[in-house]
Structure 1
């Protein structure tokens, strides 16, 4: 099962890079759109493979739980991951200057809370998938690895909330040295 998760991650980045290459190098926007549309297909394929593995009688494992995490994260963060890859592609391959604006104060707090909101969406999607797997396999000892994934992810979500919310209480301030012209 772990092999399929790694294969899905590799396939995700291959289709993203292919989409960016098609868009910027080949100047074929429809082809690039085709590649970008393949990203949810990869998630669906991983979901089908996970279900098929469980149906074949494989015991529920950490890898099955990790597949649910992967799918949740991919759906919730997919668009922002593609945007990040797009910026990096333009910067590194096309040699365009990277437009990076560091956030401070309220803007940084809002950004961090939005990112935590995406994490929460990923978590909810993953919980639905984990719950479906638990119901499918049957509640009991066989599903303990799936519950371990869920409890670990719950802890990560809470820690992420505390870190993200800390920017509301203690806003990141621009340092005085950032404003000084270099000599």
Structure 2
């Protein structure tokens, strides 16, 4: 049941996103479109409640409960940026908005971009870690929490990988092949 709900939440996320953006740009109802987009967090609340009820009713904590926590964490950490990314493209395509801004390719500007990305992934993973730890405490010492602990290790790995990637762009910045130095936006000079 939990996996089905996770899939339903993911589908509902994209349906709400499409409906909100359609109302915003095609139907010219930006207020209603924003209201629909603000319903997105309700999906995670429903998933969290159903997962907690399942555990409370004696469900064995397994990979599905961990996946639910990870899904919620990733929605918290990456959901807003995903919505902004899609919104910029829909606004450009259907409402005459400016072309979406592409991330910088070179130098410290690219490194700063990678640190922002790593920050979003870290928020996602830390949120999942907190939810997983909450589930471990909720189940208590009598339950088998091995799968939840496994998900926690995976989230630590996700944080580590993102920090290594961002750090590598800082220590070894990619150079512009045309030889021009790239400025960081907002930097003097």
Q: Normalising to structure 2: TM-score of the pair?
A: 0.86
- Which residue does the alignment assign to 1:120? 122
- Which residue does the alignment assign to 2:5? 4
- Which residue does the alignment assign to 1:181? none
- Structure 2, unmatched stretches of 5+, are 180-189
- Which residue does the alignment assign to 2:102? 101
Assess if the C-alpha contact under 8 Å between 2:72 and 2:128 holds in 1.
yes
- Provide the rounded CA distance (Å) in 1 between the counterparts of 2:79 and 2:175: 29
Between 1:22-31 and 1:99-108, the stretch displaced more is 99-108
* Residues matched between the structures, number: 178
- Provide the rounded CA distance (Å) in 2 between the counterparts of 1:141 and 1:50: 15
Name the Cα RMSD after superposition: 2.0
- Provide the rounded CA distance (Å) in 1 between the counterparts of 2:95 and 2:20: 14
- Provide the rounded CA distance (Å) in 2 between the counterparts of 1:5 and 1:74: 11
Assess if the C-alpha contact under 8 Å between 2:128 and 2:155 holds in 1.
no
- Provide the rounded CA distance (Å) in 1 between the counterparts of 2:176 and 2:102: 12
Q: 1:145 aligns with which of 134, 144, 147?
A: 147
- Provide the rounded CA distance (Å) in 2 between the counterparts of 1:138 and 1:96: 52
Match of 1:176, SS state, is: coil
- 1:139 to partner: Cα distance: 3.2
Q: 2:159 aligns with which of 142, 157, 160?
A: 157
- Provide the rounded CA distance (Å) in 1 between the counterparts of 2:114 and 2:84: 17
- Provide the rounded CA distance (Å) in 2 between the counterparts of 1:102 and 1:128: 30
- Provide the rounded CA distance (Å) in 2 between the counterparts of 1:146 and 1:101: 37
Q: Which has the higher helix share?
A: 1
Q: Which runs of 4+ in 1 moved over 4 A?
A: 91-97
- Structure 1, unmatched stretches of 5+, are 178-183
- Provide the rounded CA distance (Å) in 2 between the counterparts of 1:139 and 1:73: 27
- 1:155 to partner: Cα distance: 1.3
- 1:173 to partner: Cα distance: 2.0
Q: Normalising to structure 1: TM-score of the pair?
A: 0.88
- Provide the rounded CA distance (Å) in 2 between the counterparts of 1:121 and 1:97: 29
Match of 1:142, SS state, is: coil
- Which residue does the alignment assign to 1:180? none
Assess if the C-alpha contact under 8 Å between 2:107 and 2:173 holds in 1.
yes
